[in-house]
Structure 1
């Protein structure tokens, strides 16, 4: 199954069924126009809490709220017809208890039409994942570098090196056993990501985890060159739209100051044409 050949959006079980088949394609999106651009190419689109940094100028994802996720989720939903919509649960919306997680996940799905939610955490979140899945909330898990835990992880460091590899292997087995339909692996050594991919029966979605995962995801502003505050090593820039945008704005400003814009063809006559 591929997004370009599909006429309707897949469901979480369709994504799960892609395990070991054609690589799963995903990007983040935060607005309707961007969602429309990627709809035909992606299998699923994630409204990531990365929007706090790339859209709202925050220094981390920790300040993102439920209201922000729902607002951007609604915007992205308007731009999708072929790709499945997944929305991140923000920091503080699910960690307290499975019941808290269900209330907030249900609200996200109800108010955005999302097919699934994504939450961070391994073994310690397995009970919550199972609770949600049993109540009709499909869950995409996220292990490795979990940005919402950056303060306890010591920053945005590679995870799973040395003895920590077995803990992450256990995390992957735990979320798969709890019923997650897929799991994001962020910033792991490729060898470990390959082990995890081979060792669990749900798809792995890599971001900085090598080519052996069942699929890949990137922050769209990173891969388009729109977000330039920093550039993660694992990002490939497929365009430099930030540079192009700055050049276009500078050209506009120059023409306005020179009274070259607007030109006659951009104006309206006193009388309507026949």
Structure 2
């Protein structure tokens, strides 16, 4: 751990901006519960995202759409209780902000008050400008999200790479500049061409975090369960697995079952 990181008691938006300005990459992972969040925080992660991907990895839904605001607040509260250092961002879930800036503000305030989170993340560009401005007006930090926006999956009809065509790429750049102008402290770019992500990262002054957006963004984010190899069926090109916990956990449970069946657990030393 660098001296810079060792001296940081709590990551803030100011520190994240300083990291971009100095060229230090920002690390970001998802978290949904106390135990996992505590491990990742101690490991030194910069940002923890309480993502609406909890709908997939925690609840088994096909998309992120079913998760509710109450459920997001529950997950966020669990994560916040574990964190001492990382900056915690919470997704505003589908149906809690679209088309109504007053509802967006209420949702953001509920997340901040009831979970203790540090910021919210919201998907979209010019179409959600009013909601972003309303949330920011209440003093709530906002992280934007452009490119592949999973809450709009039924609109796109596919999870393939976004903004490959010139018109969509130009709109993405314009949306990024708009989000910066509105006051967002950071933007996530998901599953877009690396060259476009580089252009956006250079065009805006705020930190840009990529997922499937190449190496030229200011930081990277992945879903924790994918990184640790707990999930097995999700294998996108941008994913690098750093462990195979699926196999490790399966073997551990099988060994436990075997010991119970064979009456070798508990032994005398494990009994009172």
Instruction: Give TM-score, length-normalised by structure 2.
Output: 0.95
Q: CA deviation at 1:13?
A: 3.1
Cα distance between partner residues in 1 of 2:121 and 2:13: 12
Equivalent-residue separation in structure 2 for 1:215 and 1:56 (angstroms): 28
How far apart, CA to CA, are the structure 2 residues paired with 1:156 and 1:53?
14
Moved more, 257-266 or 12-21: 12-21
CA distance, structure 2, for counterparts of residue 234 and residue 2 of structure 1: 31
Indicate the SS of the match to 2:49: strand
1:197·1:213 contact (CA, 8 Å) conserved in 2? yes
Output the aligned Cα RMSD.
1.5
**Aligned residues of 1:3 and 1:83 also touching (Cα < 8 A):** no
1:265 partner SS: helix
Of residues 16, 22, 25, the one that matches 2:24 is 22
Question: Are 2:113 and 1:141 aligned?
Answer: no
Task: Select the residue among 35, 52, 55 that pairs with 1:49.
Answer: 52
How many matched pairs?
A: 268
Extract structure 1 runs of 4+ deviating beyond 4 A: none
Structure possessing the higher radius of gyration over alpha carbons: 1
Q: TM-score, normalised by structure 1?
A: 0.94
The alpha-carbon distance between structure 1 residues 3 and 68, as it changes in their structure 2 partners (threshold 3 A), is farther
1:22-171 → structure 2 map (5 Å cutoff): 22-40=24-42, 41-163=44-166, 164-171=168-175
Partner-residue secondary structure (3-state), 1:18: helix
Per-residue deviation, residues 99-155 of structure 1 (Å, max 9, x unmatched): 111111001000111110001001211222122112211100000000000111112
Equivalent residue for 1:238, pick from 237, 242, 250: 242
Residue of 172, 197, 203 corresponding to 1:193: 197
TM-superposed deviation, 1:17: 3.1
Q: Give, in angstroms, the shift of residue 3 of structure 1.
A: 7.8
Kindly indicate whether the alpha-carbon contact (under 8 Å) linking 1:116 and 1:140 is maintained by their aligned counterparts in 2: yes
Structure 2 unaligned regions, length at least 5:
none
Change (3 A) 1:146 1:228: same
Equivalent-residue separation in structure 1 for 2:113 and 2:203 (angstroms): 34
Match of 1:272 in 2: none
Equivalent residues of 2:108, 2:140 under 8 A apart: yes
Which consecutive unaligned segments of at least 5 residues does structure 1 have? Answer: 269-274
Q: Hey, what's the Cα distance between the residues in 2 that align with 1:6 and 1:92?
A: 40
Corresponding residue number in structure 1 for 2:267: 263
